[in-house]
A and B are shown apart, each in its own frame.
Chain A
């Protein structure tokens, strides 16, 4: 009568669910916490960990961070991804690492210094620590990882974003320290930390904004003066989950006015690129009527272009990336056509005013990570991790 699932089926399984949906406080009052903790932990242990990080250094070498089991591994490629060096383990001591969908490791290569950050998943539901490890010898070895969040309770410090330059490294993440034990607090907060000595020491954590949405990746990019600028899904008013943009330590401005009021986890972060002219190019997803789907806009000072919708709504278009070089702007995103996961792209040659028709860059028949756009000095590349076809790098021709 009771047809329980065979444990065998569990063994055959494969990838994770639609996504670890939340990065929220304890679920509703009636929620049996013990069971949640168990499911959470199992999910962390069994996640497929498809999310990778990639960057080019100034010599044109491609650096890759990927998670295998409970370790981050870094390797590099001098032929843009055709072949990679032997991978170096970043954390010698294994730990649970979030590396799926919106929860992603990050990598930056500045001269001989390689920064790698990730979120360590804790056994408590939705809890994590922001971790950073640094190599000073060109990625041959890494120092002991440090925990960057200075609130060390087992609560949400997750969805690490990172930006590094010759002056230092800045991390930003989603943090529930203000909302923990305070049921009236809406959502989470964006916290940042900055180190100017190569990650050896950090200034105190600083709060960038109260009331962020809880489970969307943060996008971060350097302004023309090097100051980090972040884009994240915010909670405006009671429950409107649209996007906000802020320079480090400056007040936020609303970046989208979709009006997506939803008691749910969208799990769709935005993308941000900043041109030499200071223009912010952003791409984001909303489920709000009358225009659900992906949108692009350019923000210059106090002016902004109207949101321009792109992507095929009937093919789950989502998880965009944007890049700008001169007046060339490129958008990539993923779609699913019923048989394949596709990476679609479109281009603008006039700073984002007019766009080419979308084209398909590549496809895979199996499970896939979200796309990454990484720039070398000469070209723009798509980096895409797939189950069936491994790591793909595709040069993007504007």
Chain B
């Protein structure tokens, strides 16, 4: 159905629609190759991982089973944090240019035309990127693919399937299959970005524990003309889907994502039949609505994660490592956060500037992120689909009170949408020794702010930065000094305010734009010590 140009079969035998064929990469000339880093999986996470490492100057081999970018209903909501990461990877403008920006979410209840609750995903204004954009996953993949194929360091091999994985103490032996036979790759490092059914995870016999949620949701991606605000609209118990919930999101190309909760005991084939789907669509949009189908499907979901994401020389990122419900947009955004965390760490290890121990902190920090995402996603699901009579009574009480009483509105949980996760207890942080009135604590992501020309996050880039207001007491080869005081023409109030920077103060910011340390009275020794800590080196 929809824009698909053709179909092929997935790992589980289900059909996969094609967005854009890229063709099978040629079978290599030798039957045994070497690679520093092999990435398995060419979805958004694998491609972004390749781009990150390739831009840092490393040779990357990316192996993807399919020889095309697939269509269908997948991720559509990309959070500000992912957009900031896309900027660092050089694809921010290309992705923004296609996406639909939005900040505001509205929640409706029963027959009411006025929202009972409204939230803003960008409470701090004057930042380069919005709270969210909506864009079909294949548009993002296509832009990442274009950028990655433009780098000599990255060898993109679509149509190459990894069929065996043999871990060794100093690397991993992969067996790869193409339509012309098999070949072997001896990789120093393997990053498995091969999705929720991760063949690499299965071949290694690794765990993927979690919880299945007993509920079905109908996705109707439709095309229609007409003006509606680009906001996230969510309904509890609307007249067109009694006792259930519904969601509406605008996408590029006049495509709209409509999502209807259906409950557990349903006939899935009947539910996805066009006449049934269109009954729901007309219920939401009105009987006269003119639209064309783009993609209809039914999904269920699970929350799962691996116990560890790092297994010797094999590391997992994205859905292969963790899985959440779609409410909250924490799936793809969670995976982008993984590669952001892993990229600079593996870079330092490959350069010999850090030991393999640094990768253990990827395991720690990415699991903090995954657990926060799973927790939020599970809570949203329990609010939307109460699992007991008492749970339903509490949920309904929140909605009943919210119309008239502001205190109840924050309780409404239609999905806690993805924002950057902090690591307050990360071993890479240097704890504060001074008094700070706000600012950004160690382990938290840097906040954007306008500069006279451009934006602070763009200025921070992808390496260690010492962000200061006038402190000139340090010179290092492994960190760049960004001195706000030296930007004579800049309006400094906002950046200084956001970081609680006083003259002479300094922050040490990691290559993934997380704060590692900060001082009122920085010294070269303090910086050196915090740098060692942030690189996972013994102090």
Say if A and B assemble together: no
- Residues of A bordering B, CB below 8 Å: none
- Residues of B bordering A, CB below 8 Å: none
